[in-house]
Structure 1
């Protein structure tokens, strides 16, 4: 969808589309970082590790994901106060563990699941429309 077509959407749907893109990019970026880091498990931090990291596709995907996330974040901040937008980024604390569970086989125990639920509640409380905004 072009930027012009996205701008023509009603404001509420435009926000949903932009936020979906942000969370998807941010989540995918974290999964790509993990994919890249898994190729470095035998090295300590240093020049050799950094050199090898530059040859890993996961690291490059993560870097591209950060660039994409940056531009989407700018689109979000253009239309929304930072004090409302920033708490909503907490949704990545929900989507990253879920995708890590689905894609990487990582576990989510009861404590972590409860924490994810609290994060969702916090995002709802802090990210919603306020009467003073």
Structure 2
């Protein structure tokens, strides 16, 4: 066998690495977006209380707030694993997909009104990510 043949990875190894990276990105975007929506729900549940120690106790026992904290821990761990695989100059702009998913989640799940300008912003974000990703190849 030639040295070049020995240094090449099998095709399935490349695919395995890609699938793992895509999975980490889905985990990051999902957990970060879920944390934002859970905090909104938790905040809505605490809105009637004046800020103080009672509010803090209620926040620390609120299921939505606790879910958000768990999601933040998951997003932190997935972000650290992503950064091991990717350059920060690509990873950080890609993380802006969270804005898109939170907007969609607030529209679909919380019945919030999304203006035409917001939708335009979504397309600008997606277009910017596409340009950055193209530049990496």
State yes or no: 1:71 paired with 2:105. no
Matches of residues 37-76 of structure 1 in structure 2 within 5 Å?
37-76=43-82
**8 Å contact kept, 1:84–1:126:** yes
How many residues are aligned here?
125
Post-superposition shift, 1:8? 9.1
User: Which structure 1 residue ranges, 4+ long, deviate > 4 Å from structure 2?
Assistant: none
CA distance in structure 1 between the partners assigned to 2:136 and 2:33 by the alignment? 27
Q: Per the alignment, do residues 85 and 104 of structure 1 end up closer, same or farther by CA in structure 2, a change over 3 Å counting?
A: same
- Output the TM-score relative to the length of structure 2: 0.83
Unaligned runs of 5+ in 2: 1-12
Unaligned runs of 5+ in 1: 1-6
**8 Å contact kept, 1:91–1:120:** yes
CA distance in structure 1 between the partners assigned to 2:129 and 2:59 by the alignment? 34
Corresponding residue for 1:13?
Answer: 19
CA distance in structure 1 between the partners assigned to 2:63 and 2:101 by the alignment? 22
- Kindly report the root-mean-square deviation, in angstroms, between the aligned alpha carbons of the 2 structures: 1.8
